[in-house]
Structure 1
Amino acid sequence: MSKISKTPDNKPVVFWFSDPVMPDETVMLSGADFAADSIVEMAIADKEDQLDWVSLAPIQVSEVCMKAVVPSDWQAGIYACRVRTGKVASSTVFLNAPDVWWKQGEGGVDATFAGDWLRIFGKCLDIDGGARVRLAGDGPEIEVLERGGFALRVQLPADLQAGEYGVEIHNGTGGDGGWKSAGSLTVRAAQPDNRPIISILEHGADPTGMKDCTLAIVQAIERAHGLRGGGIVFVPRGRYRIDGILRSGTWIDSPLILPENVSLRGEGANLSSLWWPSRASGPLPTLIECRRRCEIEDLAIYAQGPLNIIITGDSEVTLRRLIIRANPFYMANGITGRHARTALPGGENARARGGGSMISLWGENNRVLDCDLLGPSNAFDIRTGRGTIVAGNVIRGTGGHMLNFCSEMIYESNTFEGSPFAGGNNIALHFGGFISRHIYYAHNTTRHLYGGDHECLTFDGHGGIFFGRVADVTGDSFMPVEIDPGRPYQGTGKNFAGMAVYIIDGRGVGQYRFARERKPDGKLILDRPWDVLPDSSSLIAVGGFNGRHIVLGNTGQDVGTLVQLYPANCECFVVGNRGIRANNINCLSSSGTFLHVKDWSQLSRMEVSWRNQMLDNEVLAGNAWGGGKPAVISGQNFGNAEAYAPETVARAFRHATGFDADPDSDAVPEST
């Protein structure tokens, strides 16, 4: 790392720390202006306004990072912590204090109904089963149904008045001062569903599967759509064939469209089914297109022949207790000889036979619950996803999910059975998305991934829009400066607003913020001030953010990488996951391209892997086959051909460009 300027009084600064941390465990502190003679001071924060500080010699110290061990004879709880150098000390931080990242209820993010559930996500939310939740002020305590360090489930009183409430949380330690704000909550009055029910039999649908029922189903849907507040289209027991023919000789190349506030409801997925036979004219773009506030529940959907997406939806769509059997290879005769290309995914006609994901949803507050899914491609393509829940589903096919630029959502208790051709699952920044954060990814099981990269869970998609220096720095703004004005940085986008801004080297290294706006003169305004201001020694990267996810209690069996945090990734918890015949758990940074020619002046980007914590994961059998490293937990830099420590890459870049004030101190590293 290059030489970094200090504050005039050399006062140390702590801007991040690792927790939860228990007695006899190591805490990591990141910041600035630490020195060889710095010490860590800690105190048990169980009494307000009374802290008995204990001095701890660090077990490791650098200018920007310190580590110390919590005394083994302390009780688990909230600890006050600071760094002291001589007579000056950093501001106090509180380890293990409850830190709420987001809340999610039946009404979406920060919203639920009286008498309904609310989930609270973050870190250090419960210690030894003592978590408590209350409404702010003189409000009542709320019943906690499920406790955990990273997630709580509470039940609101049925007689709670609709309105806006503050929420507070206590993790069972820290005394009266241990209550922390969990933000605001909108409580709505529960509304009964009094929409009328319209049976498709009233419009002549044939329950035997022998006749086309398209017209009858469309008429029932249009009738429900014409009612104030919508309606429920009821599909009684039977099999209903949908050919897409509304009149003799006329094909309607259109999906079945559910308008707003219209639902499809069967008697049960084993009793009521919709059947799309193979279409000679080719696949529809989707079979069912849901507009806002639609439901499909207690139905089976059978489809064969060339297929694309089965169900699409746009916000507040609920899919519950469905069976989907979408098989473009139905009754294919084996996988050898003349049938191999059409029967196997990846064959010449496989893409034409099975196109998009089974379920593609975008927007907010969608639900996919307790469904049984089989198809030729991914089960889910979820985009944006705010307030969405995907839970309790069983998936069989060649792919699990793509969660694209999603934030504040739940993906839990799903089972992906895989196949000999199955790839994996990802949390991604594809299709133009640059930000993904706050996904609760918990208690999922994935088995039998042998195709493609066969990753049980990976982050995907990356890229930057700026890499360079800073000028005209204030607390929450700066001017980006090209390293070589004659060769401006060619990034993957130009709109800085909303992007993550990382200080990857020099003064303030290890911090990130988000760009709120870019002024006409090019100056960036940040969402909040820096703890440590960057200066002329600093290198800045602006780009995507995939972080603050909770990956908890998942199992991968006969898979490749169990969990891979692909760049850029920050502040993720990977906790209590189990691998059985799996490869490694890793987190990757990226130093861009051109490493193979060792022309460091051509370094195209720097994407970080920061502040991730991997706790209590188990690899029960690590002897996976078919390539990949054996079971290890690792962090590394990901380049085109060679790997370097991220800090070393930044140093070599400075040396090659003449940017460093002391270039002789930074030699180009040998490859590792």
Structure 2
Amino acid sequence: MTKSKLIFALALPLAACGGDDAPVSDTGSDVTAESSADEAEGSSSGESSDDDVGESATETSSDDGGESVPEDCFVPEDAPAELGEGSEGGPVAYWVSQPVLPDDTVIVTGGRMGEGLDAALVQLSDWPRGDPLDAAAPVPAWTSVELPTATERSASFTVPADWGEGVYAARLSMGDASSEAIFVNRPEVWFVRGDRGESATPGGVFTVAGTSLDAGGCLDPLAALVADGEVVAELPLAERLTTGGYGLVFDVPEDVPEGEYALYVHNGRGGTNGWSRYASFDSAPIETVTIAAAPAWPQTTVVLEDSLGETDDERFAAALELLAEGGTLEIPAGSYELSAPLELPDDTLLVGAGMDQTTIRWPVAPLDEQSLVRGATIPNTSYRGNFSLEDLSLEAGTDFANRVVSREATEPGAVGWLRGVRIAVDFGEAWGAMALFLRNTSNIEISDCELEAAISFFAREGVHYVALTGTALNWYWASYHMSGRSHAFVVHDNEVHQLGTAEGNGWVTEPNPNPGAWFTTFNGDWYQGGPYTRDVLWVGNHSSRDTDEPQKAYVGQTSDGGDAIFTGHVVSAAGTTIELDGATVQKYHPSTDEPLDYDWAGCMIQVLDGAGAGQWRLVLDAGPSESTLEIERAFDVALDETSIVSVINFQGRFLFVDNDFDNEPLLQEYFVTMDSILADNRMGMDGHTLNLPAWTGLHYDGFAPAWHYQVLDNEVQAGNATSFNSFTTTSSADSFEGEVLGAAHVYRRVSCDVGTCNLYLRGGNLTFADSLVEHARIDEFRFKSGEEMPGFTGVVIRDVETPEGQTPPGLDGDIPAGVVVLE
């Protein structure tokens, strides 16, 4: 094959970060530099070898207020060139595979690329960091190296092994046309949660989730709030939730004024050009974060006393009447038996004497009641009351098959919590019982609790900004279920504990294909699902179980529910208006056959094949029988009649990091649409096979490509065998008009400490594209599941050996076209 060339340099930062007016979108990975009005001509002048690369500096004098350069910071010796703006019609990057280390390969998906592509890579100076509004700086001369792959959809290059860790920027060029700077290892913030959910208080915190948030060495990560063209406050690092820089907590200074701010994040490397601005999306763009003081909780306090009534039901009812305007109900130590549910007035807090001292129990389930504890209806509204629980236990008997605690339909901005609460349902025959049920609610914290039921935790639909921490999820049927129209969940340091046995839990007699944790897009509308389930930081959780019987192979965690409302060609794409060659799906009521309406704002349009393939945008408004859609910004590369698009729910931006998956023989990506990372986890069960399938292809009415799936630096510590498997279902080709469906999968540092370790990359009857397997120690590699070899394009296999240092079976024979194998 003809190899293109890549040009490298080490650099001080150049392009301005854009300040308060920088364009923002979570659809483009923030991988390109914003334009600099001061760009000098001849930005690509000069070429050097790797020997000209500058060394990292320690305690070197700087211009940053006379301070010395911290140890382990990189500062180049010379910077004669500029990064530049790029040129009209040049290559465009859609996504880069990060994080990476030196000697790691980067996949860049994009457009206006192909054979003959040249490129440039620079390492940005780490010092000075400056702030998000500081000007840019020049870069050193460029160094040329080869590109292993360069297709119309993607390119790949390897960071030189003798470079230091840091933030890099690349430029791609075809002839005289070049791209903007494409950043690698610069922070990409996927979502943010404040200490009050959608907002943070002065003196509170922001939890930030994404990729490359912490670069290691040099400086600690830092965040900054910007408004009206000024940096209002710097937010110092408070806590690292993960290794690898996927989750951080930043302190908000107490003197920050309330208001809306642009949030910038710096990972400690990359200097002035290392700042990234946060932007996201739920059903509409999210471009700022909010600082707001916590409103005062009502001050009325009532103590539950015998004098309030003859029975516990009477006493609770009388106490809650006294809290009609909200307040706190103190429940002394003791055991209380109720026959009626508790409907709590708005802004009511129930406080016990401790999880093990105050117990409220319903020995017999109230008839026709879905919930035992929930907010009361707020008069003249469609909302239910907001409430919180602390330091008590809630128990239901074996005949209860609904929800113990239900928080639903709360008013916008309402904030609630469960702290030190135990919720338990005697399993019996009630496999459908739920400990905690959330629906159409936001801003809830569950900490230091115990949730025990068939389903421990169920966020059914419309649930946002949840923190679930330090909690025991004791489950028989499902530990965790997150469903449609939900986002921004921080789930960390929980014990996920399976109770019972397969037979006793009814997995055989009741249909339950995958007991465990579920990440789905069901229930967004009762008949349509979606339009998104996204933004989860699942970190530091540990799984366990009671029984020592052989575990069922289908137990673990899975996604599901991915569906589309249109798949086909476009007629035109002018600016933010898309004309489809057809109409979105129309659903009908199963009983009356009446046409049903739905609102799919927050779904996305993915360009699966043809012109502009690899791009995606969020959809601002989508309903049934529509052929015109509005998207949040125009496509970078124009679509035409060859473009095959899917208007599909956004199921992704999942971060599974630093977990102990000791009870899961299955870790399944079941038709996720985009962005899922499995990194730095420990996994495997003694005596069992571990399967990690990533499904792409036809699911229900849509095609899910599972773009940007990365399996990085995980440890398989137990088990007989492990199978890593990215594949397109063979049935997909029967109804898909294009050639490429599955794309942009990355496996890096894959190995197994015990048992055999196999990795499969299979396109079914279609083409798999733009993918990487690197630094892997496996026993077998497989490209196909049958006799017919699927197609491939832009696939790199690098440094893949058996544990004994040999070429693994599957790579020792004929290599399919479109696959490059490197030592």
Task: Establish whether TM, by shorter chain, passes 0.5.
Answer: yes
Counterparts in 2 of 1:380 and 1:475: CA distance versus 1, 3 Å: same
The 3-state SS of whatever aligns with 2:443 is: coil
Does the Cα contact within 8 Å between 1:467 and 1:489 map onto a contact in 2? Answer: no
Shift of 1:198: 0.7
Distance in 2 of aligned mates of 1:572 and 1:441: 11
Residue 359, structure 1, aligned to residue 436, structure 2: yes
Residue 171, structure 1, aligned to residue 267, structure 2: yes
- 1:56 matched to which residue of 2? 145
Distance in 1 of aligned mates of 2:140 and 2:385: 54
Counterparts in 2 of 1:164 and 1:85: CA distance versus 1, 3 Å: closer
- The share of aligned pairs that are identical, in percent, is 24
- 2:423 matched to which residue of 1? 324
Does the Cα contact within 8 Å between 1:163 and 1:186 map onto a contact in 2? Answer: yes
Once the two structures are overlaid, the 10-residue window that deviates more, 180-189 or 169-178, is 180-189
Counterparts in 2 of 1:516 and 1:142: CA distance versus 1, 3 Å: closer
Aligned length: 590
- 2:62 matched to which residue of 1? none
- 1:304 matched to which residue of 2? 397
Residue 393, structure 1, aligned to residue 486, structure 2: no
* Aligned-partner residue type, residue 360 of structure 1: F
Distance in 2 of aligned mates of 1:490 and 1:653: 30
- 1:250 matched to which residue of 2? none
Residue 427, structure 1, aligned to residue 519, structure 2: yes
- 2:455 matched to which residue of 1? 377
Counterparts in 2 of 1:646 and 1:555: CA distance versus 1, 3 Å: farther
Does the Cα contact within 8 Å between 1:387 and 1:408 map onto a contact in 2? Answer: yes
Choose from 304, 307, 319 the match for 1:220: 319
Can you give the 5+ residue segments of structure 1 that lack an aligned partner in the other structure? 1-7, 207-211, 245-254, 330-349, 594-603, 624-629, 656-668
- 2:707 matched to which residue of 1? 610
Shift of 1:272: 0.8
* 1:333-348 correspondence runs (5 A): none
- 2:571 matched to which residue of 1? 471
Once the two structures are overlaid, the 10-residue window that deviates more, 43-52 or 492-501, is 492-501
Does the Cα contact within 8 Å between 2:727 and 2:764 map onto a contact in 1? Answer: no
* 1:26-41 correspondence runs (5 A): 26-41=105-120
- 2:481 matched to which residue of 1? 402
Choose from 261, 264, 269 the match for 2:350: 264
Does the Cα contact within 8 Å between 1:257 and 1:289 map onto a contact in 2? Answer: yes
* 1:478-517 correspondence runs (5 A): 478-482=578-582, 495=599, 497-517=601-621
* 1:49-198 correspondence runs (5 A): 49-109=138-198, 111-129=199-217, 130=219, 131-136=221-226, 137-147=230-240, 149-182=245-278, 184-190=288-294, 193=297, 195-198=299-302
Does the Cα contact within 8 Å between 2:336 and 2:359 map onto a contact in 1? Answer: yes
- 2:339 matched to which residue of 1? 243
CA offsets 1:265-317 (integer angstroms, 9 cap, x no match): 101111111111124x7563211113433111101112213112111012433
Does the Cα contact within 8 Å between 1:125 and 1:151 map onto a contact in 2? Answer: yes
The 3-state SS of whatever aligns with 1:325 is: strand
Once the two structures are overlaid, the 10-residue window that deviates more, 111-120 or 632-641, is 632-641
Does the Cα contact within 8 Å between 2:602 and 2:650 map onto a contact in 1? Answer: no
The 3-state SS of whatever aligns with 2:498 is: coil
Does the Cα contact within 8 Å between 1:276 and 1:304 map onto a contact in 2? Answer: yes
The 3-state SS of whatever aligns with 1:77 is: coil
- 2:446 matched to which residue of 1? 368
* Aligned-partner residue type, residue 145 of structure 1: A
Counterparts in 2 of 1:571 and 1:471: CA distance versus 1, 3 Å: same
Once the two structures are overlaid, the 10-residue window that deviates more, 85-94 or 392-401, is 85-94
Choose from 588, 607, 616 the match for 2:695: 588
- 1:619 matched to which residue of 2? 716
Distance in 2 of aligned mates of 1:650 and 1:372: 42
Shift of 1:475: 2.9
The 3-state SS of whatever aligns with 1:611 is: strand
Q: Decide which structure has greater helix share.
A: 1
Choose from 639, 656, 662 the match for 1:534: 639
Distance in 2 of aligned mates of 1:646 and 1:311: 48
Counterparts in 2 of 1:646 and 1:112: CA distance versus 1, 3 Å: farther
- 1:414 matched to which residue of 2? 494
Counterparts in 2 of 1:592 and 1:301: CA distance versus 1, 3 Å: closer
Length-normalised TM-score, structure 2: 0.66
Shift of 1:506: 0.8
CA offsets 1:378-428 (integer angstroms, 9 cap, x no match): 433353221111111112221201111221121111111103236110111
Distance in 2 of aligned mates of 1:408 and 1:270: 31
Does the Cα contact within 8 Å between 1:326 and 1:374 map onto a contact in 2? Answer: yes
* Aligned-partner residue type, residue 324 of structure 1: I
The 3-state SS of whatever aligns with 1:176 is: helix
Does the Cα contact within 8 Å between 2:456 and 2:473 map onto a contact in 1? Answer: no
- 1:248 matched to which residue of 2? none
The 3-state SS of whatever aligns with 1:80 is: strand
Shift of 1:514: 1.9
Counterparts in 2 of 1:322 and 1:639: CA distance versus 1, 3 Å: farther
Does the Cα contact within 8 Å between 1:428 and 1:436 map onto a contact in 2? Answer: yes
* 1:554-593 correspondence runs (5 A): 554-562=659-667, 564-581=668-685, 583-592=690-699
Does the Cα contact within 8 Å between 1:370 and 1:391 map onto a contact in 2? Answer: yes
Does the Cα contact within 8 Å between 1:265 and 1:296 map onto a contact in 2? Answer: yes
* Aligned-partner residue type, residue 347 of structure 2: N
The 3-state SS of whatever aligns with 2:704 is: coil
Counterparts in 2 of 1:45 and 1:303: CA distance versus 1, 3 Å: same
CA offsets 1:349-401 (integer angstroms, 9 cap, x no match): x3xx3434211012110222111122233433353221111111112221201
Does the Cα contact within 8 Å between 1:456 and 1:559 map onto a contact in 2? Answer: yes
Give the superposed CA RMSD.
Answer: 3.3
Distance in 1 of aligned mates of 2:709 and 2:189: 17
Does the Cα contact within 8 Å between 1:463 and 1:491 map onto a contact in 2? Answer: no
Shift of 1:30: 0.8
Counterparts in 2 of 1:197 and 1:576: CA distance versus 1, 3 Å: same
* Aligned-partner residue type, residue 590 of structure 1: G
* Aligned-partner residue type, residue 355 of structure 1: G
Can you give the 5+ residue segments of structure 2 that lack an aligned partner in the other structure? 1-86, 126-135, 279-286, 376-383, 506-514, 524-528, 589-596, 743-762, 767-786, 791-823
Distance in 1 of aligned mates of 2:587 and 2:339: 47
* Aligned-partner residue type, residue 22 of structure 1: L
Distance in 2 of aligned mates of 1:184 and 1:489: 33
* 1:447-466 correspondence runs (5 A): 447-448=544-545, 454-466=554-566
Distance in 1 of aligned mates of 2:163 and 2:182: 18
* Aligned-partner residue type, residue 552 of structure 1: V
- 1:547 matched to which residue of 2? 652
- 2:83 matched to which residue of 1? none
Once the two structures are overlaid, the 10-residue window that deviates more, 215-224 or 123-132, is 123-132
Choose from 729, 748, 755 the match for 1:638: 729
Distance in 1 of aligned mates of 2:691 and 2:184: 29
The 3-state SS of whatever aligns with 2:434 is: coil
Does the Cα contact within 8 Å between 1:20 and 1:124 map onto a contact in 2? Answer: yes
Distance in 2 of aligned mates of 1:455 and 1:153: 32
Counterparts in 2 of 1:653 and 1:468: CA distance versus 1, 3 Å: farther
The 3-state SS of whatever aligns with 1:107 is: coil
